[in-house]
Amino acid sequence: MVRRAILRPGLLAGLFAAVLAASAAAQAPQVRVPLDQATIPQLEVAASQLAAAGRTAEALQLAEVLLLRDPKNPLAHFIVGQITFRAGNTETARQAARASFRNADTARQHYEAARLAAQVALADRRWFAAQYWARHTIQYAPDARHRAVAVEDFRHLRADNPWDGRLRFGIKPSDNVNGGADGRTNVIDGYDAVGWLSGDAMALRGVAATLNADVSYRLARDAASETRLGAVAYARAVELAGRPQMVPPYLPGTPAPDPVEIRNSEFSSAALGMMLVHARRLSADLTGRGQVEFGRSWQGGRPNYDYGQLRADLMRSLGRSTLLSFGASFERREWVDAPRDDFLRALNFGMSRGLAGGTLGFGVSASELDSSSAMARSWAVSGSVSYEPGWTLGPVHLSLGAGLATTVYPDYSIAGMRPAGGRQDDMAWAELGLWSPKIGYAAFTPELKLQALEVTSNVSRFTRSEVSVALGWRSAF
């Protein structure tokens, strides 16, 4: 049955709604209904048709009547927002679009309200707000075609926005939140001497929370390049389980001091820096990127070192399904409270390839740390592989990852005891990620990662294992 409502002119107090109720023969007479007797669905149909016909003043009047009857009516708020936006009143349109989204009952209502809110924000050049609402259109897109258009719109908005920002947050319960040793003794391969580790050097259970953020502003852009100035921040906080204690160090032959509680802050860390980034398209399939970054690192609440970093990257696409990446970096660290300088050099290579059954990626890296501290000098190599299958377990998507790494400290020694070939730490890790694009907010979805790693070393202080469950957020597209 099709219904068509006609609004008669006059003051609101005397308005009548004319509703055409179609009969089975599809030829039904018009029935005039007093406004105070019209149902909310009849008013909604009439207001929608008036707005579509361009009779905006009458449509606004009916929307006001609807809001008097039902202050949370999402369609009435939408009509007010749409009409006031077209009239250039973005302040009223913004409030109405938000109210329509907040009170929406269906996915389609959320989609249309978010789309209007994004248009209003873009008209006001409120870039981050426009991107926020564009993400909601992705979340509530009614079908795959609308979702693809919404994703493309978001990417255009992000490219046009002179500001760019990323925020990543995660919480990870772990049975070894501090990277402590598995055993109480410290044994060096090739020596009979045995040392005893303090309580804070042992594996401790707890929860770690991490925050990564960066924001940048575009200084210049042309058809082939852009330059940005920005800031980066990192923070990690730890909450130990069970209030663990340790006995402070003391000299042999003296009474043992009373145990003290191990402080959470001892395992906290942070970093803050500024960066200048220049990216350039070198050819149709090759892009280069250079970055200069300066900042400071903190450990346990105390300044750790100041750093300066140079980095260069190349990304090359091979067709539509394969992306290669190459990177090189150089970093200098000047320690705040120690006469120590470090020079870190690193190379990396990665590949991502779309397959019929999912997406496969792998990466390899090599690094060398040259330091004025002999104990810190090291080199490392690592490799990793990842796979995101195209199939799902119901609404749940999967990701798999695993890797190996070796780090060697050639000049490492304890009390003159030096392991043959230097200290060597061999690590193996694996993880399983689970997430569902249908669950989330603004096209961000929670992701659960089950992680396990094991490190074996010829210095037992650094032999450790860890099993953790990490909860974070990832983009759904």
Asked if residue 428 has pLDDT above 80, the reply is yes
CA–CA distances in Å: residue 197 to residues 114, 227, 240, 246, 252: 57, 50, 18, 10, 15
What backbone phi and psi angles, to 5 degrees, belong to 329?
A: -145, 155
**Which tens digits make up the pLDDT trace of 268-325?**
999 999 999 999 999 999 999 999 999 999 999 999 999 999 999 999 999 889 999 9
* C-alpha radius of gyration, the chain, whole number: 31
The percentage of the chain sitting over the pLDDT mark of 90, rounded to a whole number, equals 76
The fraction of the chain above a pLDDT of 70, given in percent, is 93
CA-CA distance, 50 to 460, in Å (whole number)?
Answer: 78
Comparing CA positions, the residue from 278, 274, 328, 329 lying closest to residue 306 is 274
Which of 299, 243, 304, 242 shows the shortest CA–CA distance to 267? 299
Angle (deg, nearest 10), helices 107-123 and 74-86:
20
Q: What is the pTM of this model?
A: 0.82
Q: List residues bridging with 471 in a β-sheet.
A: 171, 448
Of all helices (H) and strands (E), which one includes residue 123? helix 107-123
Cβ atoms of residues 28 and 19 within 8 Å:
no
Q: Please give the Cα distance from 41 to 248 (Å, whole number).
A: 75
- 476 pLDDT band, cuts 50/70/90, is confident
Closest CA to 303 of 329, 268, 278, 332: 268
Tell me the per-residue pLDDT of 153-182, one tens digit each, with 9 for 90 and over: 999 999 999 999 999 999 999 999 999 999
**Domains of the chain (ranges plus CATH)?**
3-160 (1.25.40.10), 163-475 (2.40.160)
Q: Distance between alpha carbon 430 and the CA centroid of its chain, in Å?
A: 21
Give the pLDDT of residue 31.
56
Helix (H, G, I), strand (E, B) or coil at 111: helix
- Residue-wise pLDDT for 20-35, tens only, equals 222 222 233 455 667 7
Phi and psi angles of residue 290, each rounded to the nearest 5 degrees, phi first:
-120, 145
**Mean pLDDT across 46-55:** 90
- What is the number of other CB atoms lying within 10 angstroms of the CB of residue 104? 21
Whether residue 269 contacts residue 293, with contact meaning beta carbons closer than 8 Å, is answered with no
- Concatenated DSSP letters for 148-194? HHHHHHHHHHHHH-SEEEEEEEEEEEES-TT--BSSSEEEBTT---E
Give pLDDT, residue 18: 30
Write down the mean pLDDT value for the chain.
90
d(CA 291, CA 217): 14
Q: How far apart are the first and last CA of the chain?
A: 40
